[in-house]
Amino acid sequence: MNQRAKAWALMMVMMAFYTGPSRAAEDAALLKDMTSVIALLSLPCGQVVSVIKKGDNDHIATCKDGNRYRVFLNAEGRVVAEKQ
């Protein structure tokens, strides 16, 4: 294998390692944000364990206790959580 191919392969492997943790950090931050939003709206949840993004500012959050909420911005720009 020539030097360019080795360098290219090494660069691709390094990119794979460096992009993974940043995505995990974003996911952890989103889970924490959704947990906070649901708690501030005084809805039962405990902790959000998964989030599915439906669109900009529109998510489905699944809580540890089994509750699911659609968290989105309404027409007035307020955050709303509807039980699913």
**84 residues of the chain, pLDDT tens digit each:** 566 666 666 666 556 555 555 455 558 889 998 999 999 999 999 899 999 999 888 999 999 999 999 999 888 988 889 999
What predicted TM-score, i.e. pTM, was given to this entire model?
0.69
Q: What is the pLDDT of residue 9?
A: 67
Question: How many angstroms separate the CA atoms of 57 and 65, rounded?
Answer: 23
Question: How many angstroms separate the CA atoms of 40 and 8, rounded?
Answer: 48
Q: What is the pLDDT of residue 14?
A: 58
Q: What is the pLDDT of residue 49?
A: 93
Q: Any idea which residue has 């998964």 for tokens? A: 50
Residue 81's nearest CA partner among 27, 47, 67, 49 is 67
Residue 79's nearest CA partner among 51, 36, 37 is 37
Question: How many angstroms separate the CA atoms of 61 and 75, rounded?
Answer: 20
